[in-house]
Structure 1
Amino acid sequence: MSGFKTVMLLSALTALFMALGYTLGGSGGAMIALLVAAGMNLFTFWNADKIVLSMHNAREVDAESAPEFYGLVRDLAQRAKLPMPRVYLIDEPHPNAFATGRNPEHAAVAATTGLLSMLSRDEVAGVMAHELAHVKNRDTLIMTMVATIAGAMSMLANFGLFFRGGNEENGHGNMLATLMAVIVAPFAAMIVQMAISRTREYGADAAGAEISGNPRALASALEKISGKAEMIPNHVAERNPAAAQLYIVPVHVSELFSTHPATEKRIAALEEMAGGMAIPAPSAPRASALSPVATPTRRRSSALDPTRR
């Protein structure tokens, strides 16, 4: 049902794009919009990972440059029965992570250094299992396509607002229709984008908890990073708001206009899942071998602290 809903929502987004094209250029505009949407989706299919990783200035790591982090992802991928994805780090204090790629065979996962320095090993495992769940559910391509079309629709609406003119017979009516289109269409596209993203996030939480075997670790990670993600600037999301749906936690405060479900609801669902799996609540937080402060008596460099503090 989730897959059918996503297909329908993606079709609705394409229809909105065509409707905007029709308003701005008649039947010819609608056809051009359809061709543009098809071209963008085809380009995104082959280049989604390159687009997203380049946008974030991500650097690839391996078993030598980041042995603990890379090994953690490798173990999770094996548990999920997935091909080993490429692994990337982003040198940003903003705590977040995402997955990208057109299919499991061409997938990549990335995490910021801010996230890795903030969480314990189990919590990092929960986050990366969530991202691998996106890969397994083939969400990464769909979400990148949605972000591409939504971004293009906003650009087309802005273009139409400033350059579309009416004809001599009904210039006022055409201008009114244009104004309605450039205001309503991007807003409707945002609603569709949020619906797709929220559906996929709930599914990735559940599948990621199964992969890691510890729903409470993911719940704890979400609780820790959600507040920090609101306070610490995310320059990529500021430049391109459509990228917000790629992250594990939202970058906007308002639940109404967020690309993600409310973090509290996600945590509650994970706690319920943990109860069903009879996983005991943690007694107290403890330092992890993957934490930069795991060994206070002898500071060492951690694979999850690429700055080697």
Structure 2
Amino acid sequence: MNNVKVFGLMALLTALVAAVGGAVGGRGGLVIALVLAGAMNLFAYWNSARMVLRMYGAHEVSRESAPWLYEMVDRLRQRAGLPMPVVAVAPHAQPNAFATGRNPEHAVVCVTEGLLQLVAPDELEGVIAHELAHIKNRDMLLQTFTATLAGAVSSLGQNAIWSSLFGGDEEDGGGGIVFALLAPVAAGLVQMAISRQREFKADAVGAEICGRPLALAGALRKLDDYAHRIPMEVSPAVAPLAQVNPLSSFGGGVARMFSTHPPTEDRVRRLEQLARAA
């Protein structure tokens, strides 16, 4: 069901790009916006691992420098049928983790120092399994594709605003500007909805990899709790990669629409359902 929802959201985002492109510059405007957005996101995709590690201040570890962590990742990645990723540790007190890299052969699994200190070993396995699930599901490729489409909508929207302000149809009545302002917002909401669905999918696959859905559920509770108590200074640009929102800036109601992470209680409830069904 998760994949069906993602497919539907991708189709909606693609239709939005086509609608904005046709309204602003026809086929030519659509192609130009897609090329520009694609070039920027392709660069980010190709260099994602190095860029993200630098932004988190993380450093790589080896089997010699962190044997038990390295061996845990090695054991879980074998269960997942993945190549051995680079293992890294970020110097943050908040317990959290993320995965990055352009494909399974160039992947990175990073945990924070706080995670190593504040969760039990079985919960740590659940967290790492979740990140390996992102790698297995090739979520970085999906993120790049959705970012390209959302970037194209934003670029076209900016062009529409300038066109409406300087040389637009006087009988438009401001409709072009309203459309140009709302389209990027709609694209961003769809992009965030796709991200939330991928988190649910990674939870399910991660639970399968580690074999203990309740351990991952317990870890998520702790990570969410500590994220509200221990701040993490990290760029909002890379915050969506973390297993729980490290900025803890989203509350309930409308604010949840703009969150790249599903509510933790929803994730825990689904994991508990998986445990009961096992």
TM-score scaled to structure 2, two decimals?
A: 0.83
**Structure 1 residue 132 displacement after superposition:** 0.5
Mapped contact 1:48–1:100 kept (Cα < 8 A)? yes
In structure 2, the partner of 1:302 is none
Mapped contact 2:62–2:70 kept (Cα < 8 A)? yes
1:56-75 counterparts in 2 under 5 A?
Answer: 56-75=56-75
In structure 1, the partner of 2:221 is 223
In structure 2, the partner of 1:177 is 176
**Structure 1 residue 15 displacement after superposition:** 4.5
Structure 1 CA distance for aligned equivalents of residues 146 and 155 of structure 2: 14
In structure 2, the partner of 1:43 is 43
Mapped contact 2:104–2:135 kept (Cα < 8 A)? yes
TM-score scaled to structure 1, two decimals?
A: 0.75
Structure 1 CA distance for aligned equivalents of residues 155 and 230 of structure 2: 27
**Relative to 1, partners in 2 of residues 1:188 and 1:169: Cα closer, same or farther, differing over 3 Å?**
closer
One-letter amino acid of the structure 2 residue matched with residue 166 of structure 1: L
In structure 1, the partner of 2:241 is 246
**Structure 1 residue 19 displacement after superposition:** 4.5
In structure 1, the partner of 2:261 is 260
Gaps of 5+ in 2: none
In structure 1, the partner of 2:135 is 135
In structure 2, the partner of 1:166 is 165
1:17-56 counterparts in 2 under 5 A?
Answer: 17=17, 19-20=19-20, 25=25, 27-56=27-56
In structure 2, the partner of 1:300 is none
One-letter amino acid of the structure 2 residue matched with residue 229 of structure 1: A
Task: Please tell me the root mean square deviation across aligned C-alpha atoms, in Å.
Answer: 2.9
In structure 2, the partner of 1:90 is 90
Structure 1 CA distance for aligned equivalents of residues 230 and 3 of structure 2: 34
**Structure 1 residue 223 displacement after superposition:** 0.6
Mapped contact 2:126–2:210 kept (Cα < 8 A)? yes
User: Any idea what SS the aligned residue of 1:235 has?
Assistant: coil
Structure 2 CA distance for aligned equivalents of residues 169 and 137 of structure 1: 45
In structure 2, the partner of 1:202 is 200
Structure 2 CA distance for aligned equivalents of residues 223 and 193 of structure 1: 25
Mapped contact 1:24–1:178 kept (Cα < 8 A)? no
**Structure 1 residue 23 displacement after superposition:** 5.2
In structure 2, the partner of 1:114 is 114
**Structure 1 residue 188 displacement after superposition:** 0.9
In structure 2, the partner of 1:282 is none
Larger Rg: 1
Higher helix share: 2
Structure 2 CA distance for aligned equivalents of residues 272 and 169 of structure 1: 55
**Structure 1 residue 57 displacement after superposition:** 2.7
**Structure 1 residue 153 displacement after superposition:** 5.2
Residue by residue, what CA displacement relative to the aligned partner does 1:160-187 show, whole Å, maximum 9, x if unpaired?
A: 65x55535572473754124312x1222
Mapped contact 2:88–2:108 kept (Cα < 8 A)? yes
**Structure 1 residue 84 displacement after superposition:** 0.5
After TM superposition, the structure 1 stretch with the greater mean CA deviation from structure 2, 226-235 or 23-32, is 23-32
The alignment-based identity, stated in percent, is 49
After TM superposition, the structure 1 stretch with the greater mean CA deviation from structure 2, 5-14 or 55-64, is 5-14
The total of aligned residue pairs comes to: 272
Residue by residue, what CA displacement relative to the aligned partner does 1:192-234 show, whole Å, maximum 9, x if unpaired?
A: 1222122211221111112111111111111111122234334
Report whether the alignment pairs 1:272 with 2:267.
Answer: no
Structure 2 CA distance for aligned equivalents of residues 269 and 91 of structure 1: 31
Gaps of 5+ in 1: 278-309
Structure 1 CA distance for aligned equivalents of residues 106 and 277 of structure 2: 34
